[in-house]
Amino acid sequence: MPLVDLDSLLTIPRIGEILVVGPSNSANLAFIEALCPNIEKGNSDFIWGQMQASSDLELFFYGLCPAVSYREFAWDLVAPKLLGIVVLFDWYETQAKDIQDLVDFLIHKTAAPIICAADACHKPLPFREAVYRPPIALSRRCKFTFCQSSRATFVRRTVISLLDMLLNELG
């Protein structure tokens, strides 16, 4: 009799974790809600969402509000397991220099790919699609794109771009 039941091992659902660092809880919630049927709000700065990507892969999304909590986040526990990070920011309201330190912080804290998503929110996107799709590379680990967190299609595209980066890294 085998010591390990390989069939049951192979069918254990795998969990991938994606961090969404957004400008506000409402922005994080809109982004994660566009993907996840199951949402939980922990304390006021933290949102968790779950999505069944396939029969044996679940994706967990953690929404984190950078102005309040990103330096106090449990990076040591979470960073090694992260599949990727979405840095969501308001294209029209946020100054780039306010995000610059956050991007450098995340690059040093994790080895995960990062996609910076400029959120046009409910306003029109400032450029035609060819300008930002496929995302613009800042480095192998960090790319830039535009999205509208109010529209599920754009949110999905952003996450797919992030997963593409991960697959390219593995390949």
Partner 1 sequence: MKEENGGRLPEGLKFQVLCRMLKGKRLGVLMEKLNDAQCLELQRFVWEKTLEFGIRAKGRRFTQEELLARLKAAEAHKSDMVYGFVFKGLNRFNLASESPELIRAKMQEQLDLMCRVANQFIEIQMSE
| Residues making contact with partner 1 (CB under 8 A) | 96-97, 99-104, 107, 114, 116, 118, 126-127, 130-131, 136, 138-139, 141-142, 144
29 versus 110: smaller Cβ distance to partner 1? 110
DSSP, res 37 = S
136 versus 160: smaller Cβ distance to partner 1? 136
Q: Closest separation between CB of residue 168 and partner 1, Å?
A: 17
101 versus 169: smaller Cβ distance to partner 1? 101
Question: 106, 66 in Cβ contact below 8 A?
Answer: no
Number of C-alpha atoms within 13 angstroms, CB side, residue 124?
Answer: 4
Q: Closest separation between CB of residue 154 and partner 1, Å?
A: 17
Q: Closest separation between CB of residue 80 and partner 1, Å?
A: 20
DSSP, res 135 = P
Q: Closest separation between CB of residue 144 and partner 1, Å?
A: 6
Omega before 134 cis (within 30°)? yes
23 versus 49: smaller Cβ distance to partner 1? 23
Tell me what percent of the chain is helix, strand and coil, each rounded to the nearest 5: 35, 30, 35
Q: Give the span between the Cα atoms of 166 and 83, in whole angstroms.
A: 7
